[in-house]
Amino acid sequence: MLNALASAWWVFLVRGIAAVVLGLSLWFQPAASLAVLVLFFGAWMLVDGIFTAIGAIAGRKENEEWGWMLVNGIMSAILGVLTLRAPGITAVVLVLYVAAWAIMAGISQIALGWRIRKEVSGEWLLYLAGAAALLLGLSILWDPGAGALSIAWMLAFFSVLFGIGLIALSLRLRSAGGRLKQ
C-alpha cells in the first residue's frame, strides 16, 4: 500500500495546495468564495443526478432497486438546477441547516450531561459544549449573514490546516517512495 501511495505523492500535494488556496480565498474573499462554492455544489448535483439517472436506467435489468436510484438521480438533478437558478437561497438554507444542527447538537449535549451526571464526573464539560453549540445556532439564526461569514472563516481555517497536512503527507510519501526504490 505504501508503494501505491508513494507513487501518487503528487496527488496529495495538488490536493493540499488546492485546499490551501481554497482556505485563503475563503479568508480574504468569503462572500465571493461562498457564492462560487454554492455554484459548484449546484453544478455537481446536476451532473451527479444526470449520471445517476443514466446509470439507473442502464442497469435496470441487473438491479431490482433501479427505480430508487432513478428517483435519487432525478431529485439530485432538480436540486442542482434549483441551486444554479437561485444560489442565494441555497446559501441561506445551508446556513440555516448549520444553525438547526448546532441547536440540536447543543440540546443533545446538555441532555446527555443531565442523564449521566450521577455516573460520570465532569459532566459540566458536556453542559459547556452544549451551551456553546446552542449559542452558535441561536446567533446564526439571529444574524444569518454573519453566520455565513463565520462558517466561511471556519471552513477557511480548516482548509488551510487540511491543506498543510496533505502537503506534509505528500512530502513524506515522496521521501518514502525514494527509499523504497533503493
Establish if 153 belongs to a structural domain: yes
Cα torsion 117, 137, 40, 163 to 10°: value is -50
Question: What is the value of pTM for the model shown?
Answer: 0.56
* Residue 158: domain span: 2-34+87-181
Establish if 102 belongs to a structural domain: yes
Establish if 12 belongs to a structural domain: yes
Residue 107 has pLDDT above 70, yes or no: yes
pLDDT interval class at 123 (50, 70, 90): confident
Establish if 63 belongs to a structural domain: no
pLDDT interval class at 102 (50, 70, 90): confident
pLDDT tens for each residue of 132-181: 889 888 988 888 877 778 878 887 888 899 999 999 988 988 887 777 66
Establish if 72 belongs to a structural domain: no
Write the DSSP string, 7-74: HTHHHHHHHHHHHHHHHHHHHHSHHHHHHHHHHHHHHHHHHHHHHHHHHHHHTTTT-TTHHHHHHHHH
pLDDT at 96: 85
Establish if 41 belongs to a structural domain: no
pLDDT at 182: 63
pLDDT tens for each residue of 37-87: 788 888 988 998 999 999 989 888 887 878 988 999 999 899 899 989 988
Establish if 64 belongs to a structural domain: no
Number of domains into which the chain is organized? 1
Establish if 92 belongs to a structural domain: yes
Scan for cell 444574524, then name that residue: 143
